[in-house]
């Protein structure tokens, strides 16, 4: 048998129908649904007299619009947001979906609660009307974002019309240095490939530095595969993965667990498998990084200076100048001299317990710089509860951080957590696009430890000086 | 979905690279539960100032391009989120075709579901089309899906590739779900087999 990549294996196991031209109906094992990209899909079902084919495989949760303040159960003030969350509530109940409403402690960001509840398992196909669905690839599941028309298609047929992508291997060799995290890996990779470098590919991340990551770290890496343009990111499952899945509410048990486990252990790329593109980075060469511009590819080590537009070529010259203008930055400025006024720790990229532990390690016994607005938004109600149990919440509050309820929050600012024009934020989220965190707001992406360090000094800061 | 056969229209030049979906339709307009009415807010932050006045430097505010149905855009158009609100906003504005050297994957898929044709061309071809688009409202570009060709106002012809299944659906205005439903017996069989071999799913 010809050697296969991990992607090839998962793909082959899910083709329900293949047309002569190679167009496939790919069976979908898990469909995650949130309030922003689903209402039009449910409306489409109703208009055509269709129903949800597999409601038991369809998991719904409101996350984008929900307020994260402690008083949120009083209701959502913004009328449009409220209607959207109510629409999800109605759709979830009417079509009999698995549903975690806003008052359920298990509510949270869809990509955090899927794994947490054991819906995400190795070898699965997982989709969601959300580009950061790539997160679930950390389990060796083929997971990617889809549009609302495709959401409707999956609801109706439990399949997706797909053509196969190409295979790309990203290997991170060796070990990471102190202060360097999964976030630095994923940003460094995008810095290398550019935001279009992965277009048309599914990336498999491998190598010693990836193997050494926890599931939380692996989810951070895969989460941003989409920022490199890739359809999905994958990491082959191993003992770390199995250990994480075991005992989760919706993971198999007993003999079924054993059967699943023996299948999952076949999910790796064969030695001679063909990759269409390969990128190798040395773990030791990766520094703590930040973004300076308005594209996730605008990545530099924290020790660097703001570049000049002329440092680039082609269309990037104009784009870089536009970024510098938008970000209010002058070429040559040391990144460590850039002052910030806001810190946001959270999102589907960095809203898990390990992220909060990393932030707490830096913040313990220290105070946020005066005048700074700093907030921590846990990725789920259960992450929040665990952080309280471990004493992390006390550390955050004593340091001067706001300690919020779970949601997407200031990652995309659909709820009231927004930047004002000109405000500058150290953020652990995934996009630094113009206006992403609020019109005119300026975003620097980084790891939770780096964001915590920035909160203490009021400037972009090299976390290694605080270890 | 409206059919796409042959489009003869004004093309607007947007040479900026990495135009992301947050630029195409900012998040405050994603709160709708409808598909329609987003055109007035397409490219909102580039198009309007903080007081809601039109920014005269933005190409689609230029009288010459207000009736444009084609965008000629810089590399990696539509990167970022999966929001189908991006093609909905473009379509509602009147855009039926976007031409670039590269599109983000999800945006590219979303276009076909909404009767918009995304066309990938080479760097040199994009430069040629960009120049043609800069001629303004006197020039018309022709996008012919059946023959997979773009013709500039000067009569220069560029050929392009498109997936044949997608071309068929777009030319006939076909609904994907209806087509897939015809193959649902395969899905039934697949599901039954999976229930045996992978009961944990």
User: Who among B15, B45, B184 is closest to A439 (CB)?
Assistant: B45
- Say what the pLDDT of residue B65 is: 97
- Say what the pLDDT of residue A331 is: 98
Single out the residue of A229, A238, A235, A236 nearest to residue A165, CA to CA.
A229
User: A162, A196, A256, A432: which to substitute to probe chain B, counting the most B Cβ within 10 Å?
Assistant: A196
Whether residue A380 is predicted with pLDDT greater than 90 in this model: the reply is yes
CA angle A304, A310, A314 (to 5 degrees): 115
pLDDT tens for residues B66-106?
A: 999 999 999 999 999 999 999 999 999 999 999 999 999 99
pLDDT tens for residues A87-130?
A: 999 999 999 999 999 999 999 999 999 999 999 999 999 999 99
Residue of B nearest to A262 (CA): B198
Q: How far is B56 from chain A (nearest CA, A)?
A: 17
- Asked if the C-beta of B84 comes within 8 angstroms of chain A's C-beta atoms, the answer is yes
- Say what the pLDDT of residue A161 is: 96
| Cβ within 8 Å, pair B106-A159 | no
- Say what the pLDDT of residue B147 is: 98
Cβ-based contacts of B17 with chain A (< 8 Å): 315-316, 318-319
pLDDT tens for residues B145-158?
A: 999 999 999 999 99
Whether residue A21 is predicted with pLDDT greater than 90 in this model: the reply is no
Q: Which residues face A18 on adjacent strands?
A: A24
- Say what the pLDDT of residue B113 is: 96
Contact yes or no for A354/A390 (Cβ under 8 A): no
Whether residue A418 is predicted with pLDDT greater than 90 in this model: the reply is yes
- Give me the DSSP letters along chain B: ----SEEEE-EEEE--S--BHHHHS-GGGTT-SSSSS-GGGTTHHHHB-TTS-B-TTSGGGSGGGTT--EEEE-SSBTBS---THHHHHHHHHT--EEEES-B-HHHHHHHHTTT-EEEE--HHHHHHHHHHHTTGGG--EEEETTTTEEE-TT--EEE----HHHHHHHHHT--HHHHHHTTHHHHHHHHHHHHHH-TT-
Whether residue A307 is predicted with pLDDT greater than 90 in this model: the reply is yes
Q: How far is B78 from chain A (nearest CA, A)?
A: 10
- Asked if the C-beta of A40 comes within 8 angstroms of chain B's C-beta atoms, the answer is yes
- Say what the pLDDT of residue A27 is: 98
Q: What mean pLDDT, rounded, does chain B reach?
A: 97
- Say what the pLDDT of residue B198 is: 97
User: Who among A37, A196, A436 is closest to B83 (CB)?
Assistant: A37
| Cβ within 8 Å, pair A121-B201 | yes
- Give me the DSSP letters along A241-303: HHHHHTT-TTS--HHHHHHHHHHHTT-S--TT---SEEEEEEGGG---EEE-SSSTT-EEETT
Give this prediction's pTM: 0.97
Torsion angle in degrees (nearest 10) through CA of A352, A353, A355, A359: 140
- Say what the pLDDT of residue A318 is: 97
pLDDT tens for residues A265-284?
A: 999 999 999 999 999 999 99
Contact yes or no for B186/A25 (Cβ under 8 A): yes
| Cβ within 8 Å, pair A121-B200 | yes
- Say what the pLDDT of residue B1 is: 87
ipTM for the complex shown: 0.95
Whether residue B138 is predicted with pLDDT greater than 90 in this model: the reply is no
- Asked if the C-beta of B15 comes within 8 angstroms of chain A's C-beta atoms, the answer is yes
Q: What is the mean pLDDT of residues A156-166?
A: 97
Q: What is the mean pLDDT of residues A284-305?
A: 98
Q: What residue spans of A117-162 are helical by DSSP H? A: 148-157
Cβ-based contacts of A436 with chain B (< 8 Å): 22, 27
- Say what the pLDDT of residue A369 is: 98
Residue of A nearest to B33 (CA): A39
pLDDT tens for residues A188-221?
A: 999 999 999 999 999 999 999 999 999 999 999 9
- Asked if the C-beta of B153 comes within 8 angstroms of chain A's C-beta atoms, the answer is no
Q: Which helix (H) or strand (E) holds A234?
A: strand A232-234
- Say what the pLDDT of residue B52 is: 95
Whether residue B54 is predicted with pLDDT greater than 90 in this model: the reply is yes
Cβ-based contacts of B200 with chain A (< 8 Å): 121, 251-252, 256-257, 259-260
Percent over 90 (pLDDT), chain A: 99
DSSP letter at A144 equals E
Residue B130 CA: distances (Å) to CA of B104, B110, B127:
20, 24, 5
Whether residue A1 is predicted with pLDDT greater than 90 in this model: the reply is no
Percent over 70 (pLDDT), chain B: 100
Alpha carbons B37 and B118: distance in angstroms, whole number: 21
């Amino acid at each position: 048998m010809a050697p296969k990549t991990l992607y090839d294996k998962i793909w082959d196991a899910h083709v329900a129908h293949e047309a002569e031209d190679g167009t496939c109906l790919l069976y979908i094992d898990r469909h995650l649904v949130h309030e922003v990209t689903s209402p039009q899909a449910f409306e489409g079902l109703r208009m055509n007299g269709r129903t949800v084919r597999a409601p038991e495989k369809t998991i719904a949760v409101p996350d984008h619009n929900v307020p994260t303040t402690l008083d949120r159960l009083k209701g959502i003030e913004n009328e449009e947001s409220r209607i959207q969350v109510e629409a999800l509530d109605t759709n979830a109940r009417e079509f009999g979906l698995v549903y975690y409403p806003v008052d359920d402690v298990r509510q949270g960001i869809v990509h955090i609660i899927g794994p947490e509840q054991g819906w995400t398992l190795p070898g699965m196909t997982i989709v969601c009307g959300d580009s950061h669905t790539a997160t679930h690839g950390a389990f060796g599941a083929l997971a990617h974002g889809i549009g609302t028309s495709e959401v409707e298609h999956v609801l109706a047929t439990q399949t997706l019309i797909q053509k196969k992508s190409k295979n790309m291997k990203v290997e991170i060799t060796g070990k990471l240095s102190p202060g360097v995290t999964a976030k630095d890996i994923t940003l460094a990779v995008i810095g290398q490939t550019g935001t279009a470098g992965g277009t048309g590919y599914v990336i498999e991340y491998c190598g010693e530095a990836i193997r050494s990551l926890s599931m939380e770290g692996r989810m951070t890496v895969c989460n941003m595969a989409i920022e490199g343009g890739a359809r999905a990111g994958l990491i082959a499952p191993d003992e770390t993965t199995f250990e994480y899945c075991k005992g989760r509410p919706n993971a198999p048990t007993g003999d079924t667990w054993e059967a699943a486990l023996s299948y999952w252990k076949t999910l790796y790329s064969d030695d001679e498998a063909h990759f269409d593109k390969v990128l190798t980075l040395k773990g030791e060469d990766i520094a703590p990084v930040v973004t300076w511009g308005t594209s996730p590819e605008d990545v530099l080590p924290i020790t660097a200076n703001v570049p000049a537009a002329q440092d680039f070529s082609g269309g990037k010259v104009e784009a870089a100048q536009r970024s510098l203008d938008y970000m209010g930055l002058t070429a040559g400025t040391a990144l460590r001299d850039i002052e910030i006024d806001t810190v946001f720790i959270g999102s589907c990229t960095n809203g898990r317990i390990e992220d909060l532990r990393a932030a707490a390690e830096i913040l313990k016994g220290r105070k946020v710089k005066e005048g700074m607005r700093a907030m921590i938004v846990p990725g789920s109600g259960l992450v929040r509860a665990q952080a309280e149990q471990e004493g992390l919440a006390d550390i955050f509050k004593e340091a001067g951080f706001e300690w919020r309820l779970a949601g997407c929050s200031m990652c995309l600012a659909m709820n009231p957590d927004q930047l004002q024009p000109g405000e500058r934020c150290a953020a652990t989220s995934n996009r630094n696009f113009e206006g992403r965190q609020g019109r005119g707001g300026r975003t620097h992406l980084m790891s939770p430890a780096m964001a915590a360090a920035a909160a203490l000094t009021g400037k972009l800061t090299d976390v290694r000086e605080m270890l | 979905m409206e059919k796409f056969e042959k489009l003869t229209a004004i093309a607007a030049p947007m040479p900026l690279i990495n135009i992301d979906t947050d630029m195409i339709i900012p998040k405050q307009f994603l709160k709708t539960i409808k598909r329609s009415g987003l055109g007035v807010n397409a490219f909102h932050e580039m198009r309007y100032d903080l007081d809601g006045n039109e920014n005269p430097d933005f190409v689609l505010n230029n009288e010459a391009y207000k009736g444009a149905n084609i965008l000629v855009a810089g590399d990696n158009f539509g990167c970022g989120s999966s929001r189908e609100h991006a093609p909905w906003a473009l379509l509602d504005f009147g855009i039926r075709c976007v031409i670039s050297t590269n599109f983000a994957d999800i945006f590219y898929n979303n276009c076909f579901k909404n009767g918009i044709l995304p066309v990938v061309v080479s760097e040199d071809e994009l430069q040629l089309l960009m120049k043609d688009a800069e001629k303004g409202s006197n020039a018309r570009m022709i996008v012919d899906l059946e023959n997979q060709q773009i013709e500039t106002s000067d009569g220069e012809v560029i050929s392009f590739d498109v997936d044949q299944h997608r071309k068929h659906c777009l030319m006939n205005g076909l609904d994907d779900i209806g087509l897939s439903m015809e193959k649902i017996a395969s899905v039934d069989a697949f599901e039954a087999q999976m229930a045996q071999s992978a009961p944990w799913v």
